[in-house]
Structure 1
């Protein structure tokens, strides 16, 4: 009987100890979670960096892909090359046309060479000789036609013979007119060569040289655009294409992360929004560097609320409305990394 009473007393003592421990625990938790100061300016977020899509202006087949995911590259490093065989042919053609146009301009500016004048003089002589020969033939065939017409009147030949002779004479006259045009053209070329090239002709050739020069520049620009370079230093986050793939203009080849443009976004309750100003500062702390903070500057405060209840009726409910605040990290960029959880204390 005594033993039973002792056991009962022990159970009551243990129960009392458990109750005391529970009360102590609740007291600690209460102080920690229910008696925190409500005026804290600390907020949590994740450090992020700007992602830069690298896209070609022109399409084509990828013949070289120089980067891999995770690789750190510098501004100006080659990321990829597209097939440039057609672009090189276009450039070579443009350069050839430029050389030809410049040579013709140099010839015009230098005046006609003596051999060119001799050549044109010879052409004029040949054209005049041909014209004289045709004139003699025409006179001869005119006499033949006159004789045939007399014979037709006396019944010595048929009308078909006379018509054939008339057609022969008409053909010679047409040839004579063509020969006369050739003489005029050859003489005009000789006159121009002897007098020197007129200014409008030179100006027109200068314009032709300028056009070919612009064509060369355009071809060189097209060729340069087939080499895709990094616009800034950073880290390759994703590679979206593979070697040999045919891509269109504007296709994202890789996505880069700019480590020099770190920022963090936090959410501030409406009740404390008056304490937040663009240009203000904040202290950023991360677990990787305990006891150390890094400065940040407020870039903007959103003018639209987030996480807002559908019906905001009371003052207490309005305090649940938050606004996004973005801070640029101004120091510690060599230590902080995108993806790190961080706490921000606004000042």
Structure 2
């Protein structure tokens, strides 16, 4: 009887030990790539149509910052450009009178040429007519050159103004709050009618469609883990049950570190561990900061 009792006690002890054995190799907490979206302009926030928990698309406009003063400065610069360009000479109209003189000189030259053939004019008269044509042509060339230089100078005078307009266009575009990445709003830092300055955080966003479990493994497990290795991720649903997810190791640290206080590994006696990141597709149940376990 004594022997049987001893065997039963030993069996119960072994069962208890097996029951306390962790069903996982490492544990950690879930995190995501969080992006803080800041204002790119200074002014009063006119609209900011976001709330915590709202899912946003990349490229979606979610707000606007007052841009009236920028718009008025742009209109002023446009008016200055028009005023400068209004001084440009009309080359065609100013040269037209000389072109008429050229046509008249050419007709006179042709008339004298006919008279010379009929011995009714002298060679000097023809030379004078040819000289008159040359003079008018040079006058046209000189006037065109002068007016062209004036026009080019006025065009160049508007270039700095056009650059300023481009700068204002860029500043005006930044008055629109455009969400740059797809994700869920985690924290909202500002409200409509508040004053925004360049660089002021407006909200924080993260893509939670996939989430990352940062866990820690021992040196023995380090040799077994590989990039792109599929693993099982376990998450508590209650005190007794787990929910299982498929995960993939996407990063393994090459440097050992002391075991974080909040992390338990399979070998709790290990002082040094290696961090790994496991990407898990989120069905909506996983949250940032939740604990998860890994089965390699």
Distance 1:342 1:317, change over 3 A: closer
Is 2:229 the partner of 1:242?
no
Distance 1:67 1:293, change over 3 A: closer
Secondary structure, counterpart of 1:253 in structure 2: strand
C-alpha separation in 2, matches of 1:48 and 1:66? 26
Distance 1:326 1:295, change over 3 A: closer
Match of 1:345 in 2: 295
C-alpha separation in 1, matches of 2:286 and 2:214? 14
Match of 1:195 in 2: 143
C-alpha separation in 2, matches of 1:286 and 1:206? 69
Deviation at 1:290, TM superposition (A): 5.7
C-alpha separation in 2, matches of 1:234 and 1:297? 22
Distance 1:327 1:85, change over 3 A: same
Secondary structure, counterpart of 2:271 in structure 1: coil
Deviation at 1:285, TM superposition (A): 3.4
Larger radius of gyration: 1
Query: In the alignment, is the contact (CA less than 8 A) between 2:95 and 2:144 conserved in 1?
Result: no
Deviation at 1:283, TM superposition (A): 2.8
Distance 1:308 1:46, change over 3 A: closer
C-alpha separation in 2, matches of 1:41 and 1:110? 88
Is 2:245 the partner of 1:293?
yes
Secondary structure, counterpart of 1:214 in structure 2: helix
Query: In the alignment, is the contact (CA less than 8 A) between 1:41 and 1:345 conserved in 2?
Result: yes
Is 2:193 the partner of 1:272?
no
**Counterpart selection for 1:328 from 279, 285, 288:** 279
Whichever structure has more helix as a proportion of its residues is: 1
Query: In the alignment, is the contact (CA less than 8 A) between 2:58 and 2:179 conserved in 1?
Result: yes
TM-score normalised by structure 2 residue count: 0.67
Q: For residues 120-159 of structure 1, what are the alpha-carbon distances to aligned partners after superposition, in whole Å with 9 as ceiling and x for unaligned?
A: xxxxxxxxxxxxxxxxxxxxxxxxxxxxxxxxxxxxxxxx
Secondary structure, counterpart of 2:192 in structure 1: coil
Distance 1:100 1:22, change over 3 A: farther
Deviation at 1:92, TM superposition (A): 1.0
Query: In the alignment, is the contact (CA less than 8 A) between 2:62 and 2:177 conserved in 1?
Result: yes
Unaligned runs of 5+ in 2: 1-5, 98-138, 262-266
Number of paired residues? 240
Unaligned runs of 5+ in 1: 1-18, 116-190, 310-315
C-alpha separation in 2, matches of 1:109 and 1:323? 78
Distance 1:113 1:306, change over 3 A: farther
TM-score normalised by structure 1 residue count: 0.58
Q: Matches of residues 81-160 of structure 1 in structure 2 within 5 Å?
A: 81-105=64-88, 107=89, 110=92, 112=94
